Structure 1
């Protein structure tokens, strides 16, 4: 029997750099699957700009990490990202904050981009509902919404604007049938609104509670929800085999009052602070024993 040994040459591919107006960066030849960390070049330079890293695309959506990458079975082209050092745009969550949440460098005539820190119309705990970025019109004391189509001609400071009161809590029956509760109250930021019950049903399923916009934690009737903006609670239903009863007993008197919640089996339930009143006593804690 003969034994044959086969030897292969590992393919090599080109790693090239587009410095996008910066100093020239020499291309490299790299073996297939070789770690790229040892091939990371020195940062290029560009007058009045700061180098912000290498990207796989010229739109700067795909940052390149030399520390974790290996050479693929094809050539690689990288693009330098730059940020101007001529002017700066600073974003503050509130006017008067000492530290910006984001800073951008911009050149004369360029445009500031939405930093993506907050989303307009979305509520944030402790902040409220974000209304947008505002700035003082140059030379005035007028605070107005900033337009991303404004060409830059100097440093710009922007402040987040927030809605902190007048929040509504609404209910949606989702896939079910029946009437949802109506909450006519207007809530301020941080107020805990009571979650209401409803007589709802769905084909082959049991109503157990509510979720904000139909996802996340389940709020059971009798819970409270902290208001950080306009909030919509969507009914949640489960298979009957997963629905269990959670009975609250006032635990005093000859015929103690009770209240029953329908909950999902194995779910974590936030118990109410209290739901019964007893003259001369203050509620202490819930217990599974009498």
Structure 2
């Protein structure tokens, strides 16, 4: 209680209030005028039952019935506002937990602090309260504890129980019905709030709910992470009903960020990073330790980052506040590598490099190389000799990022042949056994055969790839690297030939012989021989002149050693008979 200072002030404070003011008439007052003797008491009583009876009586006068004057007695009801942690642990604003104590922040020095005294700070904490304090009294109890009572201009009453140690061991606040109350927060000390936030495992304090059931009983809201449910039930202020009211802590379930490795089918998945649970509406930092671009997690793949969906989706923004459980998915990009094609002796053409991505198959490029005398049969890897067909579907040839796989062309040697042609000069026939042909394969190195043909008057002069001797020339015994069919034509050099003239009984003169090459055309010489008694007739291939007659200056083809014989006709002679004295006749 507080008194106004009149009478025998300050008066006692407690459940029983006694005064010692005399009822004697003052000099300037009538016997029933007690101006200046009134004492005014203002106090707070916490009702613990359904009925409270106040008794006023004189406890020290000779007549305890008469002589007591009580005037202007009034009561204002206020109802307790309680805060329930709803399963949370730690300090709740109403400080009703067992064993919870805290140093009092009374700021009073004695039993009474006047309403006008503003020297003391707020009663609990550091945030000023704009509700005007009407009274702030501390009453000592018989058990050694004290009860601090604060009344405010809004009609609220705050009652603190202060232990003998000076620590607050209990605190309750009461509001008149109809009062609009701003509920306590961690940032605004009020209603016994001490800025010590309550806690609950894997939960975030979201505020207070003021829900009631069909019977107007205060009920809590179950923990949830549904944002709509939380927003629909959270209250920052209430209107005090005409009864005790309990508001319950509203808990948001802390969301969890989980990682899904999302490894490509058939790959060896790395260990999954640990999930992390964060306070509601708080961003979860990436604690996987994985860096985009890492090629060491799964052979053949590059880690591209964490995404919102297993396929597609967007890169997850780790600055996003979580209001629900979230799973992020690793995305993998196959390492790029190159297949390079080697011609392996190709004589032309080419096959371009081919770009691949790990785990994405392709048909190999068709071979574009050519090699004379060979047929392409496929590819082999340069490193492990693995064989592949032309245009074969392949995948995952290497796990190395930006690796190069070289495929070497494989060739099968075609059949190869040497064909020999005697190639006789026109009109000539060959003799001998000939030269056998050769059959083999490209790449063989056969020996060029010896000539097995003969032609009269001609000498073998080697082989040529053209009948007329143009093109490549090959000598017997030389080596040829087989490729395709080689046709060789015998080359012939005509031998020395001569034409000799025989006088065939000539008695003088001469005819010079003629020499040249076999099949060379010459003109037969005129006869230069003489024979007494004879006249030259012609040349003949036989001495008896029964062969072929050959006229001088006619064309002759040289072949070997030939002789023409002069053919003679005797000169006509006249035989004269002399009668030697004959006398008649002839």
TM-score, structure 1 length as denominator? 0.31
Q: Which structure carries more relative contact order (alpha carbon 8 Å, separation 6+)?
A: 1
| Larger Rg belongs to | 2
